[in-house]
């Protein structure tokens, strides 16, 4: 297993891969639910990439809040779990690597879909999720990406983004 922290190294590592690539996007602090995403990904693909990135854009005030500051960051333990689960590459960029110019100017806008239900009490949350997931899709170029059904609205928003933006990735929903 490789732990990769930069986009350049990730792109280089994936450039010669011609088999099916899976992406399991996470924010770390992994639990059984994440491992079931990994095991579904492992069963259906040749190479499994898991990302670990606590994305400030999906928190209140773009991360200027206690929820973001106190979010558990447990990279070492997460890496051990992912290695035992058969992940090939962990992509764990820091914030400057992911957003070198700070908050991006261009976002994915999730409209009405992102403004209702959970989005009603978390304005901008789903725009932040969709934006970082679009970036991860662009970097990893996975054939399949795995999301938990537990986060039902997130799953619906990601599926709709893939449809509306013609992104070439198969979204797999895992219980
Ligand atoms: O579900 C999560 O952990 C996050 O929302 C995701 C999909 C990794 C995007 O930051």
Instruction: Give me the tens of pLDDT residue by residue for the chain, a chain 175 residues long.
Output: 999 999 999 999 999 998 999 999 999 999 999 999 999 999 999 999 999 999 999 999 999 999 999 999 999 999 999 999 999 999 999 999 999 999 999 999 999 999 999 999 999 999 999 999 999 999 999 999 999 999 999 999 999 999 999 999 999 999 9
Chain center to CA of 39: 16
Q: What is the CATH number of domain 2-174?
A: 3.40.50.620
CB 166 within 8 A of CB 57: no
Do 87 and 1 touch, CB atoms closer than 8 A?
yes
Q: Decide whether any atom of ligand 1 lies within 6 Å of the 28 Cβ.
A: no
What spacing in Å lies between the alpha carbon of 26 and ligand 1's midpoint? 5
CA–centroid distance, 10 to ligand 1, in Å, is: 19
Q: Relative to the CA of 26, which ligand 1 atom is closest?
A: 8
Domain boundaries, the chain: 2-174
């Amino acid at each position: 297993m490789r732990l990769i922290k930069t986009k350049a190294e990730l792109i280089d590592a994936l450039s010669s891969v011609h088999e099916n690539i899976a992406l399991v996007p996470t924010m770390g602090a992994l639990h059984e639910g994440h491992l079931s995403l990994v095991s579904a990904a492992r069963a259906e693909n040749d190479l499994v990439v898991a990302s670990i990135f606590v994305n400030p854009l999906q928190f209140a005030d773009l991360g200027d809040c206690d929820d973001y500051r106190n979010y558990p960051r447990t990279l070492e333990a997460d890496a051990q779990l992912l290695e035992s689960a058969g992940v090939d590459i962990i992509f764990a960029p820091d914030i400057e690597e992911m957003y070198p110019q700070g908050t991006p100017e261009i976002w994915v806008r999730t409209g009405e879909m992102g403004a209702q239900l959970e989005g009603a009490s978390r304005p901008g949350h789903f725009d932040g999720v969709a934006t970082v997931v679009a970036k991860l899709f662009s970097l990893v170029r996975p054939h399949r990406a795995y999301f938990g059904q537990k986060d039902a609205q997130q799953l619906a928003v990601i599926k709709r983004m893939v449809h509306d933006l013609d992104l070439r990735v198969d979204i797999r929903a895992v219980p």
